Structure 1
């Protein structure tokens, strides 16, 4: 999947590319822990086999498809934590 340079390759920083790469790694690992193939994941999730292959190759996938895959891999609840932390604009309040 990593065929382009990312600033995160050179300095320790969080980037869109590095997060995408980490998510792909974790999804592949979880799929393998469940002992299912990409084709089986496709059948169970309703996401096309091509979409799963493309996701595991370069990280491209729709949110809907990622949620469907996450449901099969028993990690859908993880998405409930996204954007939960409020933005702190002024520490005096």
Structure 2
């Protein structure tokens, strides 16, 4: 569920922040995101995408976004087979 994803992302961010030995205030300063926004994210798991990206850069996690929407969508097994053929791979 969307709420679960938001909760998990916020919890992982808190863990990473603590691994870096940062307080909320330090993260706010390094990321350019307001302290209130960081607190809100940690408590209610709500934040703008732009602020989340800024936080990721401050925590050296920007590469984590590379996987977002990176996997192709296949509606059927025939679509998988066709894509495999187009890519020249055989399974």
What TM-score, normalized by structure 1, do the two folds share? 0.81
CA RMSD of the aligned region, Å? 0.8
- Whichever structure has more helix as a proportion of its residues is 2
For each residue in 1:6-65, what CA deviation from the matched residue of structure 2 results, as whole angstroms up to 9, or x when unmatched?
xxxxxxxxx111111111110001000100100010010000010000000101100000
Matches within 5 A, 1:1-93: 15-92=1-78, 93=82
What TM-score, normalized by structure 2, do the two folds share? 0.83
For structure 2, list consecutive stretches of 5 or more residues without a partner in the other structure. 83-91
